[in-house]
A and B are shown apart, each in its own frame.
Chain A
Amino acid sequence: MLTLEGVQTYYGNIEALKGIDLEVQQGEIVTIIGANGAGKSTTLMTICGLPRAAEGRIRFEQYDITRMPTHEIVQLGIAQSPEGRRIFPRMTVLENLQMGASKSNPDFFEQDLAHVQELFPILKKRENQRGGTLSGGEQQMLAIARALMSRPRLLLLDEPSLGLAPLVVRQIFEVIEQINREDDVTVLLVEQNAFHALKLAHRGYVMVNGRITLSGAGDELLDMPEVRAAYLEGG
């Protein structure tokens, strides 16, 4: 469904991605784990064209999206819940969700709204509250829900567990699994919380310094000693 071949991305002179090869199949949950600064967020942003890949190719289904403007990429059915959530703080929860739906058919709005409110019931309670006044977990749920409002076929999630209590993390991961299973949404999940991410994902990639160093099935990676040493024990 999504393939990256030899993707290199620069911030000015800094080479943040040094040739990434990565593949996501329809219906999978794939995770990218790695330390801070490894280039995980850059990978997700490059898929959306922000910044653009300097070298390599990115394909989504039958389209070559390497040079496509961001808003067109998104309209193909890719949605992102970006790092730091980036909800609209002065707009209400409902308005945030409306923004997510702004490129999809308005006829679906009420139905989609009901669906995300079922996934995250707290968003219904907070409906008319400003985004900036939500708790961290609620903001994360809003960010995911907002991305879902565009009816994506591929959902990119950047560290949804960051800074959240274990209970909330569990709830969010359950929802990720549910939308993958029931709504047939393919998920590319970036996480530092390697244990949970690898448990959840079908496959995973390990990223170090702008390169993919390991890949394999989720439980395979979990068993590898180098992964255990670097990302699980004591971390």
Chain B
Amino acid sequence: MSEVQTRPRVEIAALLKESVVAALVALGLTVVMVGMKTVDQPGGLGLEYRWNWVAAAVASVFIGRFLFALWRETRPRHAAERGPSRQQRMLTSGGDFIRKFGLWFSLFALGFAIAMPFLGGPFSTRYFIDVATYVTIYIMLGWGLNIVVGLAGLLDLGYVAFYAVGAYAYALLSTHFGLSFWVVLPLAGMMAASFGMMLGFPVLRLRGDYLAIVTLGFGEIIRIILLNWYELTGGPDGISGIPRPSFFGLDFSRRVPENGDTFHTFFGLDYSSMHRIIFLYYLILALALITNWFTLRVRKLPIGRAWEALREDEIACRSLGINPTNTKLTAFSIGAMFGGFAGSFFATRQGFISPESFTFIESAVILAIVVLGGLGSQIGVVVASVVLIGGTELFRGLEEYRMLTFGALMVAIMVWKPRGLFSFRRPTVILEGKKIVGSQAGEGSG
């Protein structure tokens, strides 16, 4: 094989033709969707034409397509043949990075996450901590769903149902019975887990697309029940006045009760509304880290290995004596439990919940985080949450473009890393000398 990398001759005419076709398609699509807008006029609806917008769209598609095609044609051809095969590379996408720096990256991320509220500057602002809390909720949800989708390979499009169950469990138990957050948290987790079982039973025999459709339906059923069971859930009005969590019994209020302490008097601090914000941030960080710790541990136990084996080959699992029913049900219910924890946190942080917070788009976002991060990768979930949730949060000012950014990020990741950002799977055991040791918990504690 010749060592010379010939730059292929570029057929400009062909590229132009390709770009014209793309531009024509864009024209066809935008004439109606962008070019015409209905406006309220005296005497009914009228049309407003925006041909300059159409021109801009078509021109940018033309130029974009041309540049893309040019890049595609001029890129060195032999590179792919020399390196590892595409398949091989896809199997280990991000592998080198994780192998070499995984532990350091995780430790750094963890250190940063813990120190963040005290770093000063922009990091300690209320806005930044709020965003970080929000991102961490999604990290936790991503880690929870990762058990079901990433490890056990069960595609679940209704994960938000368990988030909702956890949130309503806390909201109802605390507003009606005055139970505290710490009492309700395990209850909410148990409730979500039993809903996970409920979902698990009917879908035991389903795989792939069928499983996805049923789980999607399950998520919608839960939301619609919440919406219509007015006496219990308040329907679309939701539940408000949900109590805030306390710090081991110390409230974060400004007003000090007659005979007692609040957080700031107990620690001799001046009152600041930031205390609660920071406390909530640490609370979700701790919950998320527990989720991660659990996953890293369970992967090395027989049940965790059975999940992964089930994802790889169900028939083989059965013929090795693994009971697929139990394996699937535990995956669903444990994944659901962490969703329930996150839901309780969400309810206590917001102080108000309604079915609007638990729509399908939430399930889709959480699933996107897991898939884009690289199925089964714990670090991947962190990076994908920061990029997708944090990224779109930064664009909140540009309200209309928020979903557009979200979509663009997803497409970009899928083009660039079709198997997710980090699809390297760290073995759960390695042999050193004669002894079996667990492999280092490098993959993502952060």
In the complex, per-residue mask of B410-446: 1 if CB is within 8 Å of any chain A CB, else 0: 0000000000000001011111001010000000000
Once A74-B319, A74-B321, A80-B319 are accepted as A-B contacts, the answer to whether A102 and B431 lie under 8 Å apart by CB is no
Chain B residues near A133 (CB, 8 Å)? 88
A71–B306 alpha-carbon span in the complex (Å) = 13
A128–B436 alpha-carbon span in the complex (Å) = 12
Chain B residues near A128 (CB, 8 Å)? 427, 430-431
Most A-side CB within 10 Å, residue of B302, B427, B430: B427
Once A94-B429, A132-B91 are accepted as A-B contacts, the answer to whether A102 and B318 lie under 8 Å apart by CB is no
Residues in B lying within 8 Å of A, measured CB to CB: 88, 91, 302, 305-306, 308-309, 312-313, 315-324, 425, 427-431, 434, 436
Most B-side CB within 10 Å, residue of A70, A87, A150: A70
B309 is contacted by which of A79, A99, A103 (Cβ under 8 Å)? A99
Q: What residue of chain A has the Cβ atom nearest to residue B323's Cβ?
A: A71
Once A70-B318, A71-B323, A102-B322 are accepted as A-B contacts, the answer to whether A86 and B313 lie under 8 Å apart by CB is yes
| Minimum CB–CB distance for A77 against chain B, Å | 10
A30–B431 alpha-carbon span in the complex (Å) = 36
Chain A residues numbered 138-156 whose CB sits less than 8 Å from any CB in chain B: 146-147, 150
Check A146 against B320 for contact (C-beta < 8 Å).
Answer: yes
Once A92-B427, A102-B302, A128-B430 are accepted as A-B contacts, the answer to whether A74 and B320 lie under 8 Å apart by CB is yes
A95–B313 alpha-carbon span in the complex (Å) = 14
Q: What residue of chain A has the Cβ atom nearest to residue B306's Cβ?
A: A102
A150 is contacted by which of B308, B309, B313, B320 (Cβ under 8 Å)? B320
Check B91 against A130 for contact (C-beta < 8 Å).
Answer: yes
Once A89-B312, A94-B430, A95-B427 are accepted as A-B contacts, the answer to whether A102 and B319 lie under 8 Å apart by CB is no
For residue A182, CB closer than 8 A to chain B, the reply is no
For residue A230, CB closer than 8 A to chain B, the reply is no
Once A88-B309, A88-B313, A90-B91 are accepted as A-B contacts, the answer to whether A95 and B319 lie under 8 Å apart by CB is no
A80–B320 alpha-carbon span in the complex (Å) = 8
Chain A residues numbered 66-94 whose CB sits less than 8 Å from any CB in chain B: 69-71, 74-75, 79-80, 82, 86-92, 94
Check A102 against B320 for contact (C-beta < 8 Å).
Answer: yes
For residue A107, CB closer than 8 A to chain B, the reply is no
A130–B309 alpha-carbon span in the complex (Å) = 13
Instruction: List 16 additional A-B contacts (Cβ < 8 Å) besides A71-B323, A86-B315, A88-B308.
Output: A70-B318, A80-B319, A82-B315, A86-B319, A88-B312, A90-B91, A91-B305, A91-B312, A91-B425, A92-B429, A94-B429, A99-B306, A99-B309, A130-B425, A146-B320, A150-B321
| Minimum CB–CB distance for B432 against chain A, Å | 10
| Minimum CB–CB distance for B23 against chain A, Å | 43
| Minimum CB–CB distance for A117 against chain B, Å | 10
Chain B residues near A95 (CB, 8 Å)? 305, 308, 427-429
For residue A100, CB closer than 8 A to chain B, the reply is yes
Chain A residues near B425 (CB, 8 Å)? 90-91, 130
For residue A50, CB closer than 8 A to chain B, the reply is yes
A82–B313 alpha-carbon span in the complex (Å) = 12
Most A-side CB within 10 Å, residue of B319, B322, B428: B319
Q: Can you list 16 A-B pairs with a CB-CB distance of less than 8 A? A: A48-B318, A70-B318, A70-B319, A71-B321, A71-B323, A80-B319, A90-B91, A91-B308, A91-B425, A92-B427, A95-B428, A98-B429, A100-B320, A103-B322, A146-B320, A147-B320
Most B-side CB within 10 Å, residue of A75, A91, A100: A91
In the complex, per-residue mask of A171-191: 1 if CB is within 8 Å of any chain B CB, else 0: 000000000000000000000
For residue A219, CB closer than 8 A to chain B, the reply is no
Chain B residues near A94 (CB, 8 Å)? 427, 429-431
A165–B283 alpha-carbon span in the complex (Å) = 60
Chain B residues near A146 (CB, 8 Å)? 320
Chain B residues near A88 (CB, 8 Å)? 308-309, 312-313, 316
| Minimum CB–CB distance for B11 against chain A, Å | 39
A132–B317 alpha-carbon span in the complex (Å) = 16
Chain A residues near B428 (CB, 8 Å)? 95
Chain B residues near A99 (CB, 8 Å)? 305-306, 309, 317, 320, 322
Residues in A lying within 8 Å of B, measured CB to CB: 48, 50, 69-71, 74-75, 79-80, 82, 86-92, 94-95, 98-100, 102-103, 110, 127-128, 130, 132-133, 146-147, 150
Check A48 against B323 for contact (C-beta < 8 Å).
Answer: no
A82–B316 alpha-carbon span in the complex (Å) = 7
Q: What residue of chain A has the Cβ atom nearest to residue B436's Cβ?
A: A110
| Minimum CB–CB distance for A44 against chain B, Å | 9
| Minimum CB–CB distance for B354 against chain A, Å | 41
A80–B317 alpha-carbon span in the complex (Å) = 11
| Minimum CB–CB distance for A124 against chain B, Å | 9
Chain B residues near A100 (CB, 8 Å)? 320
Once A71-B323, A127-B431, A128-B430 are accepted as A-B contacts, the answer to whether A50 and B305 lie under 8 Å apart by CB is no
Question: Top 10 closest A-B pairs, CB basis?
Answer: A74-B321, A86-B316, A103-B321, A88-B312, A71-B323, A92-B427, A70-B318, A80-B319, A71-B321, A99-B309
Chain A residues near B312 (CB, 8 Å)? 88-91
A75 is contacted by which of B302, B308, B309, B321 (Cβ under 8 Å)? B321
Chain A residues near B317 (CB, 8 Å)? 99
A143–B309 alpha-carbon span in the complex (Å) = 14
| Minimum CB–CB distance for A154 against chain B, Å | 13
Chain A residues near B427 (CB, 8 Å)? 91-92, 94-95, 128
| Minimum CB–CB distance for A101 against chain B, Å | 9
A146–B428 alpha-carbon span in the complex (Å) = 17
A116–B428 alpha-carbon span in the complex (Å) = 20
Check B318 against A50 for contact (C-beta < 8 Å).
Answer: yes
| Minimum CB–CB distance for B149 against chain A, Å | 15
| Minimum CB–CB distance for A51 against chain B, Å | 11
Chain B residues near A69 (CB, 8 Å)? 323
